Amino acid sequence: MTERGHANVDIPLRTIDLFCGAGGITEGFRQAGYVCLYGIDVMQEAIETFQFNHPNAVADCRPIEEVDPEDVRFRLGLQPGELDVLVGGPPCQGFSINAPERFLNDPRNKLFRHYERFLEEFQPKAFLFENVPGLLSLGDGKVFRQIIKIFTALGYQVSAKILFAAHYGVPQERWRLILLGSRFGEITHPEPTHYAVGRANFRGGSTMTFQLSKEDQERLLPAVTVRQAIGDLPRLAMGEGAEIVQYSTEPHSEYAKSMRNPMGITFNHYAAKLSKQNVERMKYVKPGGSWRDIPFDLLPKGMQRARRSDHTKRYGRLHPDRLAGTVLTKCDPHWGAVFLPDQDRALTVREAARIQSFPDTYKFLGSRVSQYEQVGNAVPVLMARAIAVQIREHLEGQVSRAELRREQERGVVGG
């Protein structure tokens, strides 16, 4: 047999990436042996980053509403059913529990319909649809149920789970809703490889996440900490660094070794200057601390009115021996914990990318503001890779058995 997808045929599985951004999912799938044929995103600088790091993929920068999936399929030379995996997820701002307003008629919440159009046209063997857990509670679950109904009607068996990035070696508290679909049966989500615990304060937090026990702590690898993730990168004062820098020390952890560029350089490691007010505020914040450590008269007026239980991460300093908080699209202390544990400055783009598990070879293009946005919007690479491996194992088993059954029915092979 030489059919694509058979377990004994060493042919890379092929993907296309919708709403690809800078390419976090595609990078994870690349590391798992896949080849991306096409990526689309409306953000120009993100597409430039995607194209630079995945030069063999077609990079399309335009609104997905303007794209005809049939034209894309013809351009790629694929027949319906030949694509292995469709990956991606629409922008999540309309679904986020942090959004100030969450209306069912938010046009961003309808972008999944364009994902549906690609599913209908390409009829891939499997798909990955990712989003924020807030999607589960939007409209009291109406949008989520509608998405599942649509995907099921297209012939896919759909499984849904909320994954914690730290369970896959990502040094960060980040939750993502992951829907996996297949034409050949259920795809189970990848089991955790690392022991970590995070607050799942959203719908589905107790029923759709992996619940780890004390026994799991003994058998799994420990979570990767902030120190292990970024402690080997060159130390900088505010205003120091460059878009290309050389390493100044040896890697100090297994994680650092796995992230290092063998060429001895990395990118996007520049320490921005902070305002005088934030420099003064930063002095009072201890590792693991936040705005609560800052004297009252130094707080912004709005924060002076905040309750002590509010805005837990604002003006925070990362703790070296814990996970980082969710990497945000802005490296602004007013939004989260961006101060370094042992350096009086904020995270560089490279440090944020390390926390997102991008390898040091991955270069981000565009303005520095855009680079932070690209990193913050990405799916963590190591989590994407774990999912990619799980899908590959599913396809190598299920697709092979399905093809074997078809050939048995045609009398090609013996029963």
Specify whether 20 is catalytic.
no
Q: What are phi and psi of 187, to 5 degrees?
A: -95, 120
Q: How far apart are the first and last CA of the chain?
A: 15
3-state SS, 123-183, equals CCCEEEEEECHHHHCHHHHHHHHHHHHHHHHCCCEEEEEEEEHHHHCCCECCEEEEEEEEC
Whole-angstrom distance, CA of residue 243 vs CA of residue 265: 10
Under 8 Å between Cβ of 269 and 245: yes
Nearest alpha-carbon partner for 23 in 11, 40, 8, 7: 40
**Contact yes or no for 323/225 (Cβ under 8 A):** yes
The catalytically annotated residue of 20, 36, 92, 331 is 92
Q: Compute the distance between CA of residue 24 and CA of residue 364 in angstroms, rounded to an integer.
A: 11
Q: At 353, which helix (H) or strand (E)? A: helix 349-355
The two beta strands, 241-246 and 265-270, are antiparallel
So which residues are the catalytic ones? 92
